[in-house]
Amino acid sequence: MISKLRNSIIITLSTLFLFSCENGSVYHSFKHVNPKGWSKHDTLSFEIGLKETAYRYNIRAQIRNLSSYAYQDLYLCIKSNIPDSTIWQTDTIKFQLINKEGEIIGKGWGDLYELSVPYRENILVKPGKYTIRISHEMKDNYLKGINDVGIKVE
């Protein structure tokens, strides 16, 4: 009797956990940045396997920054072979992390904040393995105050 009750509780909690996860996301990953600073020469690489045939995706770049981040903006260089695995594209995107009033824009807890911006939207992608590489384009050789960099594909 106790084992049946325990099993039903485990199944119920597992089901709730599965349904509480974000729907629509096919890939979501963060890479941690060295706490001493993100080196200008350190490129973060995301390997993405997509299985849906001829499906349209939205890709978001994500940043987790500390309240100690010294600048208002963050510029990233993103190289990707999406939507064609044989052709590499390079883009520069801007994150505005702090508004003109000095307030951090992202959602946060403690002194860690997260912000997500569109990178590519409504792109038709064939099944396959793709790579996204991200480096920063700031003047500092070691950029402090960035905790994690992420990619989300939905």
DSSP characters for 31-45?
EEPPTT-EETT--EE
For residue range 31-57, what is the model confidence (pLDDT) as tens digits? 999 999 999 999 999 999 988 777 889
Q: What is the pLDDT of residues 80-101, one digit of tens each?
A: 998 888 899 999 999 999 999 9
- Phi first, then psi, for residue 13 (nearest 5°) are -65, -40
Q: Using 50, 70 and 90 to split pLDDT, how confident is the model at 11? A: very low
24-153 sits in which CATH class? Answer: mainly beta
Q: Token match 């997260």: residue?
A: 114
Cα–Cα dist 112/107, whole Å: 8
Q: Which two tokens stand for residue 118?
A: 């569109």
Question: Token digits for 58?
Answer: 């939205």
